[in-house]
A and B are shown apart, each in its own frame.
Chain A
Amino acid sequence: MRFFDGIMLVWRNLLRRKSRTFLTALGVAIGTAAIVGMIALAIGLKENAIKSFDNFQDLTVLDVYPGWRETAGPEQMIKLTEKSVAEIKKIPGVVGVMPQMGLYTNVEVQMGRMVGDSMQVIGVDASEAENFGFELEEGSFLSGAKNEAVISYLVPDYMYQKQRNSRKNKEEENYYMDPFGEDTFNKPRLDMVNKTLNLTLTRYTGENNFETRTFKVRVKGMLKEGKGQWGPTIYLPMDLVQEMNRWLGNTGSDTERNRGKNQAEYETLQVKVASRTEVQQVVDGIKALGYQTWSPMEAIEEINSFFNVVQLILGGIGAISLLVASIGIMNTMFMSILERTREIGIMKVLGATIPNIREMFLLESGLIGFLGGLSGLAVGYIFVTLVNMAPQSGLFDMTGEEIGKIAVIPPWLVAFALGFSIFIGVISGLLPAHRAAKISPLQALRQE
């Protein structure tokens, strides 16, 4: 018997008992729809969670902190030094290592009549900027000269005009500038590249006396908007920030000692990894060296495993309904054999072989499964579309840019749903088909 002929014969049999076929397939459809809907939901939620993470920061950049060596005595610090940089660079997958040092005070930034505060100042090793894939909106990277700066894209937005009659408006002078306020969007962006900034630090000298010192830096460039840029940040050469910290008196005793050894000690190192797949390996490598680090990939792994469990549970609920559907198919097939015993007998007399008969019944139950799976998939699609149309309050991702879909049906799920429903159909048909094949033609023909 040719496969297509078998399908045609089976199809006509199913059409003969339309309502029974419909009801049996409906069982499969409900099961399939449940599985598809549930898994689509789990996948959608997972994708959303990961996507928000992804937009949140560059997943290939790791922050490395000094580590603690556990010894018998008091814990010993494993400092971040030039040696650490060299060590970490040797780990496969590491593209660049950028030492960083923060400034521990508020800096007043002034450019002409514009001022700004609450900006982060970070000292960096400028030579690595390009390895990190930083892109400039304008200007150039730090050249290595001392009094230079690169600003993040948000810095101009945080600059505001100092009030002229400062006496009168003294209270308002330092009001918190809302960066997303109406003013910000209406006024043209301040051009800061190739201008000179005055960075003024203030230190307490005791007895309510304050002392200020102003550092002049030239803005060489401005970074493009991008991942991992949180707010207004001014990047300065490492040396300059070290000098500022010394002046502020924030230099810890360790640093004092290190200066004697002529070896800089860093607060953090930023490590750029070539690709996401290598992140875990680099994290492990860095941890093995004794430093502390944390990768957003670890969080994503956790999200993944959490949602895999959710997926399993939701899929399992659907699977139970498919199991019930499979019992329905079996029942229908046994009924069908009882009704068609005589017909099966005739077919055997006409030369249908035992595999022919078995094949016909397996095709029939498989086709019921397929029809159910197909309509279940359609229902699943409708469900997913409706869910995604629902008001999505609270499902903006963290950057607020994109609204993620709540439920997603990837191609593999379509294939899985169809394959699984056919599989369920065929499995449910095994026993009935075996029984049909065993029918004795003579006894079948005697039956009226």
Chain B
Amino acid sequence: MTGSIEIYDLKHTFKLGKVDVPVLHGINLQVKPGEFVALCGASGSGKSTLLNLVGGLAKPTQGKIVVNDTDITSLNENQLCIFRQKNLGFIFQSYNLIPSLTALENVELTLIFAGIPPKERKEKAQAFLELVGLADRMHHKPNELSGGQQQRVSIARALVNNPSVVLADEPTGNLDSRNGQEIMNLMRKINREGKRTFLVVTHDLSLAKLADRIIFLRDGLVVEEVVA
């Protein structure tokens, strides 16, 4: 179903040199379409790894991840690229904007890879920048924007290809509490209005409380689920 995430018996091991470091020990998780889920846990608990695996940025050692009814663990690298392009939006802690491009161009970039014609591209990008409240900052480069503004650009970029699932890794981690709160509220608003599924990694409980459901990880296992 569009916007659903299903994780079955997910195990993942990092190789650090010759040493295997197990990170995830068998995670089972279902996220319903349109749900806003927060992943919480101490650092090293495996929450970011889980998010990256759901985004197809790495292949799990074992287990199955089904996003939008597609088993992404069976896709090859290029198929994953196309899957991300069509279904997923990413928001990072450090924004990951391209410094040489303006806010508008950064948002357009996603659409460039999707092969959208320039006029349509520009209109869409402008609409999403307006949605995140950056109508007057479109032609600024990232280094001319504050952290909160940069994160808004990255949210606009994550949404512009109309993904059903948005994955956010510590989106407020580099922001002060006021800006963090605003970004969280913005994501929640977009989640409600656009019926998009959000999977957000955070260690800030006060922000996690805004989610529909909070999942706590410890040592690579789900230890607790809290429905808000």
Is B21 located at the chain interface by the 8 A CB criterion? no
Inter-chain contact A353/B113, CB cutoff 8 Å: yes
**Chain B proximity of A353: nearest CB distance (Å):** 4
Contacts of B188 in A (CB 8 A): none
Q: Mark B67-111, 1 if CB is under 8 A from A, else 0.
A: 000000000011001101110001010001010110000000110
Is B42 located at the chain interface by the 8 A CB criterion? no
Is B138 located at the chain interface by the 8 A CB criterion? no
Inter-chain contact B78/A353, CB cutoff 8 Å: yes
Stretch at the interface among A90-98, A189-197, A341-349, A390-398: A341-349
Inter-chain contact B81/A352, CB cutoff 8 Å: yes
Is A12 located at the chain interface by the 8 A CB criterion? yes
Question: Among B81, B115, B117, which residue has its beta carbon within 8 angstroms of that of A354?
Answer: B81
A442 to B100 CA separation, bound complex (whole angstroms): 21
Inter-chain contact B85/A12, CB cutoff 8 Å: no
Q: Mark B114-146, 1 if CB is under 8 A from A, else 0.
A: 110110000000000000000000000000000
Inter-chain contact B58/A351, CB cutoff 8 Å: no
A243 to B188 CA separation, bound complex (whole angstroms): 120
Q: Mark A104-132, 1 if CB is under 8 A from B, else 0.
A: 00000000000000000000000000000
Residues from 34 to 54 in B contacting A, C-beta threshold 8 Å: 52
Contacts of B86 in A (CB 8 A): 351
Inter-chain contact A350/B115, CB cutoff 8 Å: no
Contacts of A316 in B (CB 8 A): none
Inter-chain contact A346/B98, CB cutoff 8 Å: yes
Inter-chain contact B110/A350, CB cutoff 8 Å: yes
Is B171 located at the chain interface by the 8 A CB criterion? no
Inter-chain contact B161/A351, CB cutoff 8 Å: yes
Is B226 located at the chain interface by the 8 A CB criterion? no
Is A170 located at the chain interface by the 8 A CB criterion? no
Inter-chain contact A354/B77, CB cutoff 8 Å: yes
Inter-chain contact B85/A350, CB cutoff 8 Å: yes
A441 to B53 CA separation, bound complex (whole angstroms): 12
Contacts of A16 in B (CB 8 A): 100
Inter-chain contact B85/A355, CB cutoff 8 Å: no
Contacts of B109 in A (CB 8 A): 347, 350
Is B112 located at the chain interface by the 8 A CB criterion? yes
Stretch at the interface among A1-9, A172-180, A265-273, A361-369: A1-9
Contacts of B205 in A (CB 8 A): none
Contacts of A355 in B (CB 8 A): 78
Is A356 located at the chain interface by the 8 A CB criterion? yes
A16 to chain B: closest residue by CB: B100
Contacts of B110 in A (CB 8 A): 350-351
Given A353-B85, A354-B78: A9 and B57 interface contact (C-beta under 8 Å):
no
Inter-chain contact B84/A350, CB cutoff 8 Å: yes
Q: Mark A410-448, 1 if CB is under 8 A from B, else 0.
A: 000000000000000000000000000000111001000
Given A16-B100, A343-B98, A353-B113: A442 and B81 interface contact (C-beta under 8 Å):
no
Is A331 located at the chain interface by the 8 A CB criterion? no
Is B55 located at the chain interface by the 8 A CB criterion? yes
A440 to B58 CA separation, bound complex (whole angstroms): 8
Contacts of A13 in B (CB 8 A): 100
Residues from 322 to 354 in A contacting B, C-beta threshold 8 Å: 342-343, 346-354
A97 to B109 CA separation, bound complex (whole angstroms): 77
Contacts of A9 in B (CB 8 A): 112
B77 to chain A: closest residue by CB: A354
Contacts of B90 in A (CB 8 A): 349-350
Inter-chain contact A445/B92, CB cutoff 8 Å: yes
A2 to B113 CA separation, bound complex (whole angstroms): 8
A9 to chain B: closest residue by CB: B112
Question: Among A352, A440, A445, which residue has its beta carbon within 8 angstroms of that of B113?
Answer: A352
Is B152 located at the chain interface by the 8 A CB criterion? no
**Chain A proximity of B115: nearest CB distance (Å):** 6
Is B157 located at the chain interface by the 8 A CB criterion? yes
A445 to B77 CA separation, bound complex (whole angstroms): 16
Inter-chain contact A346/B84, CB cutoff 8 Å: no
Inter-chain contact A353/B82, CB cutoff 8 Å: yes
Contacts of A354 in B (CB 8 A): 77-78, 81
**Chain A proximity of B119: nearest CB distance (Å):** 12
Contacts of A442 in B (CB 8 A): 52, 57-58
Contacts of B78 in A (CB 8 A): 353-355
Contacts of A350 in B (CB 8 A): 84-85, 90, 109-110, 113, 157
Question: Among B52, B81, B114, B117, which residue has its beta carbon within 8 angstroms of that of A348?
Answer: B81
Residues from 149 to 179 in B contacting A, C-beta threshold 8 Å: 157, 161
Inter-chain contact A1/B112, CB cutoff 8 Å: yes
B161 to chain A: closest residue by CB: A351
**Chain A proximity of B53: nearest CB distance (Å):** 10
Given A9-B112, A347-B109, A351-B84: A441 and B98 interface contact (C-beta under 8 Å):
no
**Chain A proximity of B170: nearest CB distance (Å):** 13
A445 to B92 CA separation, bound complex (whole angstroms): 10
A351 to B116 CA separation, bound complex (whole angstroms): 13
**Chain B proximity of A342: nearest CB distance (Å):** 8
Inter-chain contact A346/B96, CB cutoff 8 Å: yes
Residues from 4 to 58 in A contacting B, C-beta threshold 8 Å: 5, 9, 12-13, 16
Contacts of B58 in A (CB 8 A): 440, 442
Contacts of A1 in B (CB 8 A): 112-113, 115
Contacts of B115 in A (CB 8 A): 1-2
User: Given A351-B81, A445-B92, list of 5 further CB < 8 A pairs?
Assistant: A350-B84, A350-B113, A351-B113, A351-B114, A442-B52
List 11 interface pairs A-B (beta carbons < 8 Å), by A numbering. Answer: A1-B113, A2-B112, A5-B118, A12-B101, A346-B96, A347-B113, A351-B81, A351-B84, A351-B114, A353-B85, A445-B57
Interface residues, chain B, CB within 8 Å of chain A? 52, 55, 57-58, 77-78, 81-82, 84-86, 90, 92, 96, 98, 100-101, 109-110, 112-115, 117-118, 157, 161
Across chains A and B, which 6 residue pairs bring their CB atoms closest together, nearest first?
A351-B85, A442-B57, A353-B81, A352-B113, A354-B78, A350-B110
